[in-house]
């Protein structure tokens, strides 16, 4: 179904290469050949549609809305179900256009085929009915029209946008081909875009079941500029013909015009048969290679859909997760992933390939390193994990997501942790089982929540913050961080330059004292300390990952602020991250020394609750990156600004929600 640009009946049933047939009623598309046709026959089919259409079988009434698209064969209107207010795109076909048996058979086949399709990148079929005047096919409404409209407004698209659309087209096309269906009319006007900028493949008027080579249809159908050589040469239709059209679509979106378009239709056909086109130098090298690999004269030489997705144009290029609606009319502002992802992926692949070749007994090493999987529980309030790689002062709010990675103190897992044992082939400098090991994320969250609630309940109103502690005692806090949990874990740098990573499976490794000391924590909370040069072989891989993240943060991220302490924290002070969480507004980190830190995305302010002996020190880093530290007793007595109070209330609500879950 084309909600914008319909092929004509003459174009659909074309049985010859004579270009004059295309002139009788042309493609109503900006991509059609530039000859001016005679439209008199098309205009004779116009039928005035009533403002309210009634289904004669169910009695349901539908109010006609705006015209979405038209052609010589049918028109498409926006219609609203008056009983439910649901809106549809409705293809309206006059009965006069299906008076002959073969014409009605084509519509019946289109309906029966489309009814069987259910895929996120295929226009959804709802229902159909007919009255004495028309046939009505009710389909999913795609409010942002089609790629033809976007192309007309933009003329050319950027590589990330083209990758975004092509990935979705290929997804829908693979679904059709797997069901043995050829589309046979892939063009910009048949790719529809919904309210959320998701693409839908539509208009199955020319679609056909895939036949064997001997049975393939030899008819010529489709849009002239997108016809494959084997279609023009009557060699029959196969999936390769759809792939050819896909290559023409890619070329058109990147270059602004179809690859074989000329002023004369015969010349266009000649160019197609000879695969004669030019690749503008403005195209990236990867785009040129991919287009050339698709537009091959011999169908068997063309890339398959899977090979297209594996091509460097996709594998080495940025594809956005979503496009803004403004992309329909102007170049969008897209935020490619930071260099961290490419940096880590390249280095880690190299690292693990090297390690894998050295392993004598992979099963033993796996048992040794990942026995801890049984001890990890991942918890998410939104039931989603955010994999966005971001750093301090680079954070974009991740749309309502909250991610948690790390061990939780649940009864079942507690038993699992206590039963977990681990031995290393190396010298253990020390093994600690002190009181800090008794702290869990839940206990840190509960203790912090209680002191904040007590403070806020007794805090008087104030227009500004109370005078801060002139010389706060030194404490460590997170100055930089990077979320690479889609592969390995969450990395962070402390204010004393120590770095750590909480790995996805629940283990934790820190590099302390100028990276000369390594601290390692199992999921059963057992801690080990090693000199870096005596680190056991089975921990080397994790150490390398920590070093990669540390180097990235050092080279690419800004410090989160300056606390201005006269005395710096000890380089041996290295609290371990117990758990991190992402909400739609902030990042929360809980540490095994009882401290908590909350980084707010939008203005980069921070709230740090440092556990010092039997009291807490609250530090607030403002938008201007200026820090102020207060004892909670002082805040209880004098109050604080509305900005800080608002943030403290948010932290309390978050911790309350956390404890309930």
Roughly how many angstroms between the first and final C-alpha of the chain, as a whole number? 47
Torsion angle, alpha carbons of 296, 301, 303, 306, to 10: 160
Closest CA to 594 of 607, 567, 613: 613
Contacts for 460 with CB less than 8 Å, ≥ 6 apart: 637, 638, 639
Closest CA to 19 of 225, 229, 243: 225
Per-residue tokens: 214 = 């001997």
Report how far residue 191's alpha carbon sits from residue 250's, in angstroms, rounded to the nearest whole number: 12
Residues in the chain: 661
CB atoms within 10 A of CB 243: 24
Look at residue 551 and give its three-state secondary structure. helix
Half-sphere exposure of 103 (CA within 13 A, CB side): 15
CB atoms within 10 A of CB 132: 6
What angle (nearest 5°) sits at the alpha carbon of residue 655, between those of residues 610 and 505?
85
Q: Where are the alpha helices (DSSP H) in 260-331?
A: 265-274, 285-294, 305-310, 312-315
Residue 20: phi and psi, rounded to 5, are -60, -25
Residue 584: phi and psi, rounded to 5, are -75, -10
Burial class (CB in 10 A: 0-12, 13-18, 19+), 19: middle
Closest CA to 206 of 225, 189, 223: 223
Residues 505-544: b if buried by 16+ CB within 10 A, e if exposed: bbbbbbbbbebebbbbbbbbbbbbbbeeeebbebbebbbb
CB atoms within 10 A of CB 34: 10
Contact 20, 10 (CB under 8 A): no
- Please confirm, yes or no, whether 365 is among the known catalytic residues: no
Per-residue tokens: 275 = 């695969």
Catalytic residue among 2, 185, 203, 483: 185
Report how far residue 118's alpha carbon sits from residue 104's, in angstroms, rounded to the nearest whole number: 24
Per-residue tokens: 56 = 């004669």
Judge whether 91 is annotated as a binding position: yes
Per-residue tokens: 653 = 């609500």
Contact 546, 535 (CB under 8 A): no
Tokens 């959320």: give the residue. Answer: 196
Closest CA to 71 of 160, 132, 7, 124: 7
Tokens 């013909």: give the residue. Answer: 241
Closest CA to 502 of 482, 516, 517: 482
Closest CA to 507 of 429, 578, 601: 578
Binding site for ATP, by residue number, is 91
| Catalytic site positions | 185
Binding site, by residue number, is 91
């Amino acid at each position: 179904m084309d909600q914008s640009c319909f092929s004509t009946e003459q174009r659909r049933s074309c049985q010859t290469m004579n270009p004059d047939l295309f002139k009788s009623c042309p493609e109503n598309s900006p991509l059609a050949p530039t000859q001016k046709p005679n439209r008199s026959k098309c205009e004779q089919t116009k039928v005035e549609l009533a403002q309210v259409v009634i289904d004669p079988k169910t009695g349901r009434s539908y109010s006609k809305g705006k015209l979405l698209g038209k052609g010589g064969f049918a028109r498409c209107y926006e219609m609203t179900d008056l009983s439910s207010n649901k809106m549809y795109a409705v293809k309206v076909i006059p009965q006069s256009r299906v008076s002959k048996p073969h014409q009605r058979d084509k519509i019946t086949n289109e309906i029966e085929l489309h009814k069987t399709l259910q895929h996120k990148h295929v226009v959804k079929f709802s229902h159909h009915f007919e009255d004495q005047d028309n046939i009505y096919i009710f389909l999913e409404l795609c409010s942002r029209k089609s790629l033809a409209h976007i192309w007309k407004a933009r003329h050319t698209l950027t590589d990330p946008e083209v990758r975004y659309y092509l990935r979705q087209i290929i997804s829908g096309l693979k679904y059709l081909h797997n069901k043995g269906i050829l589309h046979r009319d892939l063009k910009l006007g048949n790719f529809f875009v919904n309210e959320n900028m998701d693409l839908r493949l539509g208009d199955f008027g020319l679609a056909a079941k895939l036949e064997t080579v001997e049975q393939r249809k030899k008819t010529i159908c489709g849009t002239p500029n997108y016809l494959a050589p084997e279609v023009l040469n009557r060699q029959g239709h196969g999936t390769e013909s759809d792939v050819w059209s896909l290559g023409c679509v890619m070329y058109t979106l990147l270059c602004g015009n179809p690859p074989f378009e000329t002023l004369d239709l015969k010349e266009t056909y000649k160019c197609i048969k000879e695969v004669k086109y030019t690749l503008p130098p403005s195209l990236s090298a990867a785009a040129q290679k991919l287009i050339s690999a698709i537009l091959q004269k011999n169908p068997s030489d063309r890339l398959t859909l899977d090979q297209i997705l594996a091509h460097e144009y996709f594998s080495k290029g940025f594809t956005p997760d979503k496009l803004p609606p403004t992309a329909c009319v102007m170049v969008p502002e897209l935020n490619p992933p930071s260099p961290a992802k490419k940096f880590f992926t390249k280095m880690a692949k190299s690292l693990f390939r090297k390690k894998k070749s050295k392993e004598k007994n992979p099963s033993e090493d796996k048992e040794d390193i990942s026995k801890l999987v049984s001890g990890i529980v991942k918890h998410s309030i939104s039931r989603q994990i955010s994999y966005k790689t971001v750093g301090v002062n680079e954070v974009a709010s991740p749309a309502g997501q909250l991610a948690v990675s790390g061990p939780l103190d649940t009864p079942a897992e507690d038993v699992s942790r206590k039963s977990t044992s681990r031995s290393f082939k190396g010298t253990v400098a020390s093994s600690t089982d002190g009181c800090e090991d008794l702290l869990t994320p839940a206990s840190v969250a509960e203790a912090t929540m209680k002191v904040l609630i007590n403070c806020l309940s007794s805090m008087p109103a104030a227009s500004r913050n109370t005078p801060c502690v002139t010389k706060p005692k030194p404490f460590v806090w997170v100055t930089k961080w990077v979320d690479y949990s889609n592969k390995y874990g969450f990395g962070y740098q402390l204010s004393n330059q120590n770095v750590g990573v909480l790995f996805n499976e629940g283990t934790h490794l820190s590099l302390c004292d100028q990276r000369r000391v390594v601290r390692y924590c199992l999921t059963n909370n057992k801690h080990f300390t090693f000199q870096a040069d005596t680190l056991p072989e089975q921990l080397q891989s994790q150490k390398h990952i920590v070093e990669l993240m540390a180097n990235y943060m050092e080279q690419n991220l800004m410090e989160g602020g300056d606390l201005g302490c006269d005395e710096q924290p000890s380089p041996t002070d290295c609290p371990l991250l117990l758990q991190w969480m992402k909400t739609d507004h902030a990042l929360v980190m809980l540490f095994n020394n009882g401290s908590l830190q909350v980084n707010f995305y939008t203005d980069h302010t921070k709230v740090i609750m440092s556990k010092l002996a039997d009291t807490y020190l609250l530090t607030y880093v403002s938008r201007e990156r200026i820090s102020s530290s207060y004892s909670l007793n002082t805040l209880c007595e004098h109050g604080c600004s509305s900005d800080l109070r608002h943030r403290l209330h948010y932290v309390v609500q978050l911790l309350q929600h956390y404890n309930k879950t």
